[in-house]
Structure formats: C-alpha cells, structure tokens
C-alpha cells in the first residue's frame, strides 16, 4: 500500500498472532455519517471481528464503532453488520477459498485513504498452539538480536 494520504484508525495485531495470513485485500466500507465521524475520532475496535459472504455480498460482523459523541439523535448501532465493497471476481475468489476447511476472513486494519474509509482484510488460516509458540520464540530471538546490536553501537 502506498503511504500517501493514509490515516490509520484501528489495527488488529492479535489477528497476526492467531492466524497465518495467505492473502490480503483492500475493501471499501458502506458507513453512515455518524460512523464516519466516529472513525475520524479514532473510535473503532477490530477485536473478535470477522467477515462473511452472504448472498454474493461481503459483510463485516462484530466490528465495534463507538457512537459519535456529538450526535443528538439518529446515532448508529455500534455492532451492526457493515457491508464491504469488493469487485465481484474478488468476492467469488474469496467464496471459493472460504469453502475450504480452516480459512477465515479477518479484518486487519481500518484506515482512511484519500478521504475514503477502507479496510484491509486477510484470507487467513488459524494457527495451532505450537505455531503460536514458534511465533513467540521467533519474536523473542529477534528482540534479543536488536538488544545486542544496540549494545555494540
């Protein structure tokens, strides 16, 4: 992704620990006005959220966008399902992969690109417990190497 005009809103770091990412997609989001204003304040949470394909359309579920603080009435439901915008051929590709055992669609990031709300989705497979231990071991080794480099400088 190009770094020009991107404002990161929410990041799902836990997903990269729990899942091994096979492919990434960028999807637009269909939002109400108060949801956009709340996102601009950085009030979103991707924890435990996931995406599903229903009747040929892609939706994200369990994504929490806090109600807009300055809205008097007509505020949105924080956990409503939200439609994601992808090309039809991408949705068909995802549908084929989702029917295979072990694959899930996990939201990784929400950000604004040139004023439009976008979501980065990952086609991912769940990691086993021993895979997670391996990730922790690799991360600790990398941290130790960085410390040693700092000590030598």
In the structure, what pLDDT confidence band is assigned to residue 107 with cuts at 50, 70 and 90?
very high
H or E element: which one contains 137? Answer: helix 129-152
What is the DSSP secondary structure assignment for residue 100, as one 8-state letter?
Answer: S
In DSSP notation, 38-95 reads: HHHTT-EE-TT-EEEEETTEEEEES-EEPPPTT--S-PPPTT--EEEE--HHHHHHHH
The CA angle 23-91-4, to the nearest 5 degrees, is 55
Least confident stretch, 30-39, 50-59, 131-140: 131-140
Does the predicted TM-score (pTM) go above 0.75?
no
- What domains are defined for the chain? 6-127 (2.40.280.10)
Nearest to 104 by CA among 62, 138, 65: 62
What per-residue confidence (pLDDT) applies to 133? 80
pLDDT, tens digit (0-9, with 9 covering 90-100), for 63-74: 888 888 777 777
pLDDT > 70? residue 151: yes
Higher pLDDT, 151 or 91: 91
């Amino acid at each position: 992704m190009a770094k020009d005009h991107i404002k990161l809103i929410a990041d799902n770091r836990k997903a990269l620990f729990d899942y091994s990412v096979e492919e990434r997609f960028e999807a637009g989001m269909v939002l109400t006005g108060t949801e956009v204003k709340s996102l601009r304040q950085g009030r979103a949470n991707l924890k435990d959220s996931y995406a599903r394909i229903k009747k040929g359309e892609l939706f994200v579920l369990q994504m929490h966008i806090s109600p807009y603080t300055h809205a008097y009435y007509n505020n949105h439901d924080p956990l409503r399902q939200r439609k994601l915008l992808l090309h039809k051929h991408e949705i068909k590709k995802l549908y084929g992969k989702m029917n295979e055992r072990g694959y899930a669609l996990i939201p990784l990031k929400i950000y604004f690109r040139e004023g439009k709300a976008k979501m980065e989705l990952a086609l991912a497979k769940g990691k086993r417990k021993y895979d997670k231990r391996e990730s922790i071991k690799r991360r600790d080794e990398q941290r130790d190497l960085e410390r040693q480099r700092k000590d030598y400088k």
